[in-house]
Structure 1
Amino acid sequence: MVNASQNQDQTQVKADYDPITLSLFSNRFMCIAEAMGRSLKQTAISTNIKERLDFSCAVFSPNGDLVANAPFVPVHLGAMSCHLPDLTVITPCFDENDPTKIIFFTASRGHHSDIGGILPGSMPPTSTQLYEEGANIQSLKIVSNGYYNHDALYKIMVEDPAQYPGCSGSRSFKDVESDIKAQIAANNKGTNLLKALVKEYNLKTVHSYMNHIKNNAERSVRKMLRKAAEKAGSNVLHTIAGGSGAGDGWHGTSGVHCHMTNTRITDPEILERRYPVLLHEFGFRSSSGGVGKYRGGEGCIRSLQFLQPLSVSILSERRARSPYGLKGGGPGATGLNLWVKQPKEENGKVRTINVGGKGTMQFGTGDRLILHTPGGGGWGAPDNKEEIDKEEAERLLNQARDWEPRGTWADKAQPDF
């Protein structure tokens, strides 16, 4: 058991502090969180964590206050929470002189490939009940007295979700378990580094500067928010990449992940090696940024072909309404998700279908998904009165129809009629 009053006593601080030492401790705490992240990346096996870097690591005070959160995924900052596939492992760091006293917590959160539910990937766009998205874990003591609890994890990830109508347990439990173990190892890396920091200084000094860091962070954020309120641009959200909005004094950025997660996109080589998919095109979408004194960033075009039947879920925004401009700037182009469907009969016609912003589709062998992501909104009235290209939608459809297979995999990519 942990004595709460003891933990509060640990975090009492002196009123004064040395700014240089404050900076040193701030960097030491952040380096510990970053070292945890490097450990997690190296030991995880899933594409989500190892390649896309969809994870975060953090250090907390004994009272649960955030001390350092390495900036891997900004949406986790300050909360370490998001949606069900994001699983968090929390590890207490005990005082070596008093094994009953917690002096820190370390935590790691990672997006896991499948935790059950009605669809593979555990992110169904049509879910209406929480259980349809997979395992709902309130808490689980995964390690106790040094022993790892495999059976409890299997029950909560595989057996429990499968009890609900239309649902399955985790379809890739071995990957999930391996990544959970990688998170445990990353947390242990953090606790060892924290204990070394305490030995180098002392617990009172470390806790003192931990609180000074928190107070200094509050002042810095308040100052930043005041400045941000004076200048605001428009942004477009997308899970792959899109154009960011322009603002007073800057053009938007093209092909950037301006979504709050800021995760990496999977490298083409990794994507094609691990999944039955060919990436035929990935580049900027010309003329998609909003016009203005400062132009919005360009969106992207991403064309995928599937080498076997697959279920694909899409969660995207700005497919019906354009990302707006500001101060007279033009809107960015809306996004467009196209399903190029191969005919089921010989000499049949290839169909191009606009599938909308959200949905789940069953793609056949040889079918293609072409994503046109939105551009960012412009800022300010354009000096040369540029006009938005009214034929953009038709150009995109023609581009989809004119697609040709690429590379030595082209024969394999053709549908088998």
Structure 2
Amino acid sequence: MDIAEQMGISLQKTSVSVNVKERLDFSCALFDPSGNLVANAPHLPVHLGSMSTCIRTQVEIWGDKLKPGDVLVTNHPSAGGTHLPDITVVTPAFDSDDKIIFFVASRAHHADIGGLLPGSMPPNSKELWQEGAAIKSELLVKNGEFQEESITKLLLKDPAQYPGCSGTRRLSDNLSDMKAQIAANQKGIALIGQLVQDFGLPTIIAYMHAIQDNAAATVSKMLQRVFKEQQGRALHSVDFMDDGSKIELTIKQQPDTDKVIFDFTGTSPQAYNNFNAPRAITYSAIIYCLRCLVDEDIPLNQGCLRSIEAVIPPHSLLDPEDGCAVVGGNVCTSQRITDTILKAFGVMADSQGCCNNFTFGTGGNSANGGYVQGFGYYETIAGGHGASANWDGVSGVHTNMTNTRITDAEVFERRYPIILRQFAIRQGSGGDGVHRGGDGVVRDVEFRLPVTVSMLSERRVIAPHGMNGGDDGERGLSIWVVGLLLMLRLVIVLLF
């Protein structure tokens, strides 16, 4: 875990983008040679639970063809990605015989990778190509040499081939942040080498398996206790997205085994919008919730899922076909899956239910084929945290699958053509009850120059639900105001 934390510190210090350096929208972790999560830093849950799928996919693609000095890059949903802006850089660690003993990986949200709109989070995308550069598996570094020409083509030229789309609007930030990810991984490789030198590889491998075995036993014990309290009855929960799409979950014991089934049968089919969530996201939500439910100090790792079997209907909202738009699945549907799981266990009412994704920017490829370097900015805005039977919710925080910061007002106004008019708690917006839900926030932003702005959000139609008689929270509200002097002002009134 310390190695993963050191990787994160290195990434933050060497990155250049606001999204990575200020908002900390990244995650770092270590994996065994098969791609199982061994240890991670306390970064973003939606990244960490899905990255093992990503690493396993790279293992399947490359096998033993990777050599010292090679570094991989990927972001494709079919390869264990979440959504395209989350770019994962993977570096293998070798022993003295050039055999892979670990993988280290860093996943960072790049504020722009092309697509329909600046910020690469278009609320109107319906197909994957509209959301920017898609990279299934490529060598970012080959024999120690950074492959700048090939990655530039993937980020800048390839997305611009599609109608209405642009390549990345700030290539320099992409390249700098990727190099920072490579450096963070190299930090992890160096620390692994030191660990091997201090304790020996057999001891490290033994403990690597032991902590996963312990996590599996701890989670299994917790689930058995839950079903004993329920007298063996299955747990069930249903929730709906704002467009009416349903997420349905039944949690039940498999007869004669220690397996527990998370059955999402009944979930709506994939949608012709971007709220489709790749399978890896559902595993992220499950492993996060299980770790929250365990009242013991264990590290999050792949062992937490050993006693779990997930049943996810193919071509559903939680297992879309290749090519479906998914940018909202990572930041909205993931939150709704988490709420559904926690309600099934009866432990907590709904939180804000989405990440409230706010993007703006300029530049890119124009309709006449010209290109102007611009920028993309992205942030997730806080909301209310749900209450439980034992405590009140928390106001104005990032909840569940997101664990980022908001950009400091001083940095926000210095780096972008922005005046931050208000950022405050939305008093009284949390659901009332014996224990109140947390209040949301109001974020009032004024633009000093013309920009393209988009908002990708949920809980604008269906309110966050209370539990056991507790009231629902307030729905979110987004307001666009055009002033007399053509100063564009966006007032985002967020969830309870």
**TM-score category, normalised to shorter length:** 0.7 to 0.9
Deviation of 1:90 after TM superposition, in Å, equals 0.5
Aligned to 2:206: 208
Contact 2:348–2:386 under 8 Å retained in 1: no
**One-letter amino acid matched to 1:215:** D
**Alignment partner, residue 189 of structure 2:** 191
Identity of aligned residues (%): 54
**Contact 2:33–2:100, Cα closer than 8 Å, also in 1:** yes
Q: Distance in 2 between matches of 1:295 and 1:142?
A: 49
Partner residue in 2 for 1:156: 154
1:317 to 1:219, Cα distance in 2 relative to 1, 3 A = same
Corresponding residue for residue 371 of structure 1: 492
SS of equivalent residue, structure 1 residue 231: coil
Range with greater deviation from structure 2 (258-267 or 143-152): 258-267
Instruction: Give, in angstroms, the shift of residue 222 of structure 1.
Output: 3.6
TM superposition score normalised by structure 2: 0.63
* Contact in 1 for aligned 2:349/2:465 (Cα 8 Å): no
User: 1:51 aligned to 2:22?
Assistant: yes
- 1:92 equivalent in structure 2: 92
- Secondary structure of the residue aligned to 1:103 is strand
SS of 2:455's partner is: strand
2:33: which partner in 1? 62
Indicate conservation of the 8 Å contact 1:45/1:178, yes or no.
Answer: yes
Matches within 5 A, 1:31-42: 31-42=2-13
Letter in 2 for 1:326: M
What is the rounded CA distance, in whole Å, between the counterparts of 2:34 and 2:384 in structure 1? 41
Encode CA deviations 1:80-113: one digit per residue, 9 max, x unaligned. 2421010001001111x212x1111111010012
Aligned residue type for 1:120:
P
Q: Aligned partners of 1:63 and 1:259: how far apart in 2?
A: 28
8 Å contact 2:348–2:467 — kept in the other structure? no
Q: Give structure 2 stretches of 5+ with no counterpart.
A: 52-80, 227-292, 294-344, 356-380
- 1:76-225 map, 5 Å: 76-80=47-51, 81-95=81-95, 97-99=96-98, 101-224=99-222
Quote how far apart the aligned CAs of 1:259 are: 4.7
Q: C-alpha distance in 2, partners of 1:118/1:231? A: 40
1:168-189 alpha-carbon deviations (Å, 9 max, x no partner): 1111111000000000000010
In the alignment, does 2:459 pair up with 1:294? no
Give ranges in structure 1 of 5+ residues lacking alignment. Answer: 1-29, 345-364, 376-417
**Residue 199 of structure 1 aligns to a residue in which SS?**
helix
SS of corresponding position for 1:153: helix
The 3-state SS of whatever aligns with 1:141 is strand
Aligned mates of 1:372, 1:216 — CA distance in 2:
44
In the TM superposition, residue 301 of structure 1 has moved relative to its aligned partner by: 0.8
1:271-310 equivalences in 2 (<5 Å):
271-310=412-451
* Greater Cα offset, 152-161 or 253-262: 253-262
Name the CA distance, whole Å, in 2 between partners of 1:145 and 1:35: 25
Whether contact under 8 Å (1:238, 1:373) holds in the other structure is no
Partner amino acid for 1:164? Y
1:235 equivalent to 2:351? Answer yes
SS at 2:164's partner residue? coil
Work out the CA distance in 2 between the residues paired with 1:370 and 1:208: 54
Q: CA 1:180 to 1:224, structure 2 compared with 1: closer, same or farther past 3 Å?
A: farther
- After superposition, the C-alpha distances for 1:240-286 in whole angstroms (9 at most, x for unaligned) are 11111211011111111115112111111111011101111111111
Contact persistence 1:69–1:78 (CA under 8 A)? no
| Distance (whole Å) between structure 2 residues aligned to residue 310 and residue 259 of structure 1 | 31
Shift of 1:230: 5.3
Cα distance, 1:224 vs. partner?
Answer: 5.0
Q: Counterparts of 1:354-365 in structure 2 under 5 Å? A: 365=486
TM-aligned CA deviation for residue 231 of structure 1: 2.7
2-structure distance, mates of 1:230, 1:173? 46
- The change in CA–CA distance for 1:157 and 1:224 in structure 2 (over 3 A counts) is farther
2:397 alignment counterpart: 256
The answer to which of 248-257 and 34-43 deviates more is 248-257
Task: Give aligned pairs, total.
Answer: 324
Deviation string 1:18-72 (CA, Å, 9 cap, x unpaired) is xxxxxxxxxxxx0000000000000000011100000001111112111112121
Query: Greater CA deviation, 202-211 or 239-248?
Result: 239-248
- Tell me the distance in 1 between the aligned counterparts of 2:480 and 2:220: 46
- Structure of greater Rg: 1
Q: Is the 8 A contact 1:106 1:190 kept in 2?
A: yes
- In 2, are the aligned partners of 1:339 and 1:368 still within 8 Å (CA)? yes
Please state how far the C-alpha of 1:223 moved relative to its aligned partner.
Answer: 4.3
Cα deviation, 1:320-360, whole Å, max 9, x if unaligned, reads 2221211111111111111121136xxxxxxxxxxxxxxxx
The CA RMSD measured in Å over matched residues stands at: 1.4
Which AA in structure 1 matches 2:491? I
Amino acid paired to 1:92: P
Q: Is the 8 A contact 2:348 2:387 kept in 1?
A: no
Task: Evaluate the alpha carbon distance shift between residue 304 and residue 325 of structure 1 in structure 2; reply closer, same or farther with a 3 A threshold.
Answer: same
Q: Which residue of 2 aligns with 1:382?
A: none
Query: What is the CA deviation profile of residues 1-34 of structure 1, one whole-angstrom value per residue up to 9, with x for unaligned ones?
Result: xxxxxxxxxxxxxxxxxxxxxxxxxxxxx00000
TM-score (norm 1): 0.75
